[in-house]
Chains A and B, each alone.
Chain A
């Protein structure tokens, strides 16, 4: 049993170590963002849409831009207001905001490209399997499995510590503190309605 638990702990740790690092590093980026001064690269240009794309609605316009300009991701936040249409093409690490007029066929394209750290933040919050952009679904699946893995790592880790018989006194104090402290803080905060 000890050997099995040890191998499960090792296996889960190695399979999810990189995703765990993405979660950890991105969390620290979120916490210390003001100190890090990370800022994205932004560019803006105007593109002429074809007649078919301009008249075909936002999905047609988005498809043409994806094919001709190389934008990748999923289509989001379509908004139409008179002769102004806007939408976003999004994937973790990059977002493109498009505003165009079907009448003039002029599309203003603002591209925001994030660095590695901010991309990790966007992978951290990426969730669910509803994405039109396939890789986002795969990242979300890895994130989900890593979350399950995290719980199993905790449980197997506790087993290994207890069966290992070293530091039982110190360990008991630490895990008891963690559970009591966590429960009390979460309970008291939840009472603040």
Chain B
């Protein structure tokens, strides 16, 4: 099974070709070692940091920006969004506050990235 990927590590954006065989991946088309690692990771277990907003009641802003504490599997992005949609916080909210633990069973938490005062 071969996959074509664009490497994102540097602006060259090399066209990678990754052959996946079971749990291992063979990468070609890279011009450096970082591209090798990226191609492997992206083909075997692509992950993304999800950043969005959640509702805040009683605050000086109607929403607060949040992020996942670590990248989650790409296939679970919309499940994470579904959990965020259901979340309502009460002001005040501090940067770094854990808003959801183990979101959608991914192992990552969701943390607030901004302060919202009562208002």
Q: Is chain B found bound to chain A in the same assembly?
A: no
Residues of B within 8 A of A (CB): none
Residues of A within 8 A of B (CB): none
